[in-house]
Amino acid sequence: MLNLRDLAQRIELWKTASTIETALTSYTLARRHYPDTYARLLRLPKPPYVKLILTNQFPRTMVTTRLGGRSRYFGPFRNRAAADAFEKAFLDLFQIRRCQEDLEPSPDHPGCIYGEMRMCLRPCQDAVSIDEYSSETARVD
């Protein structure tokens, strides 16, 4: 068994009133003493965001934990379920596409149920121009 009596020189103690205060104190100390590895030491999960991908000519949304690129982010959210719920409500408010595919607009495209319910502008079926779809995306700002 390891005996630290001979190795330890002092012990510091911080009294905390709650679990959240304990977590914040641990975070602050780990970040101060281990700046390169504190996130791995604390096993901090990355919070989810809803990302509006603006690099595509017909922007769409997705839930992600990675930030970067030319996009608009909403969040952070407490968990994936909260981010999914926000994304669903967001897409109910704006007629932005829900499909994940890279679009090649064509009148022959079969479309989806959201286009039939008028919850999407149907860029896949070439029902709107890029400018009309862009104006819907611009409403987000």
Which tens digit of pLDDT belongs to each residue from 24-37? 899 999 999 999 99
Say if residues 49 and 68 touch (Cβ distance below 8 Å).
no
How high is the pLDDT of residue 124? 87
**pTM tops 0.75, yes or no:** no
User: 2: pLDDT confidence band, cut at 50, 70 and 90?
Assistant: confident
Following CA atoms 139, 86, 130, 132 in sequence, which dihedral angle do they give, to the nearest 10 degrees?
A: -40
Mean pLDDT of 126-132: 91
Average pLDDT over residues 7-34: 89
C-alpha 48/C-alpha 121 separation (Å) is 27
- pLDDT of 141 above 80: no
Q: Which helix (H) or strand (E) holds 61?
A: strand 60-64
User: Domain-by-domain residue ranges, the chain?
Assistant: 17-45, 49-138
pLDDT tens-place string over residues 66-111: 998 889 999 999 999 999 999 999 999 999 999 888 888 888 888 8
pLDDT for position 44: 79
- φ/ψ (deg, to 5) at 6: -85, -20
Alpha-carbon separation of residue 102 from 3, 97, 123, 124 (angstroms):
61, 11, 11, 9
Instruction: Record the tokens describing residue 93, joined without a space.
Output: 């408010």
